[in-house]
Structure 1
Amino acid sequence: MSSTLITAITELDQSKYKTKVYAGGHLIYADEPTELGGTDEGMSPGALLLASLGSCTAITIRMYADRKEMPLESIKIDLAICKEEEMSKTTTITRKIEFTGAISDEQRARLMQIADKCPIHKLLTNPIQILTS
Structure 2
Amino acid sequence: MSKKQITAVVELDQSRFKTKIFADGHLIYADEPKELGGTDEGMSPGALLLASLGSCTAITVRMYADRKQIPLEGITINLKICAEDEMNKGTVIERKIELKGNLDDEQYKRLMFIADKCPIHKILTNPIEIISVS
TM-score clears 0.5: yes
d(CA) in 2 for partners of 1:104, 1:40 = 43
Q: Shift of the alpha carbon at 1:82?
A: 1.9
1:75 corresponds to: 75
Q: Shift of the alpha carbon at 1:8?
A: 0.3
Q: Deviation string for 1:26-77 (max 9, x for gaps)?
A: 0000000111110000000100010000000000000000011111100000
2:97 corresponds to: 97
Q: Shift of the alpha carbon at 1:88?
A: 3.5
> Percent identity at matched positions?
72
Q: Shift of the alpha carbon at 1:84?
A: 3.6
Structure 1 gaps of 5+ residues are none
d(CA) in 2 for partners of 1:102, 1:84 = 38
Secondary structure, counterpart of 2:22 in structure 1: strand
1:66 corresponds to: 66
Q: CA RMSD for the aligned pairs?
A: 1.1
Q: Shift of the alpha carbon at 1:80?
A: 0.8
**Shift in CA distance, 17/84, structure 1 to aligned 2, threshold 3 Å:** closer
1:33 corresponds to: 33
d(CA) in 2 for partners of 1:84, 1:43 = 13
Residues matched between the structures, number? 133
Query: Which 10-residue stretch deviates more, 45-54 or 88-97?
Result: 88-97
d(CA) in 2 for partners of 1:32, 1:103 = 40
* Alignment pair present for 1:23 and 2:23: yes
Q: Deviation string for 1:63-114 (max 9, x for gaps)?
A: 0000111111000000011234543331110100001111111111110000
1:126 corresponds to: 126
Structure 2 gaps of 5+ residues are none
With the length of structure 1 as denominator, give the TM-score of the two structures: 0.96
> Would the aligned equivalents of 2:78 and 2:96 in 1 still touch at CA under 8 Å?
yes
d(CA) in 1 for partners of 2:132, 2:62 = 35
1:117 corresponds to: 117
Secondary structure, counterpart of 1:96 in structure 2: strand
**Shift in CA distance, 26/84, structure 1 to aligned 2, threshold 3 Å:** closer
Query: Which 10-residue stretch deviates more, 78-87 or 54-63?
Result: 78-87
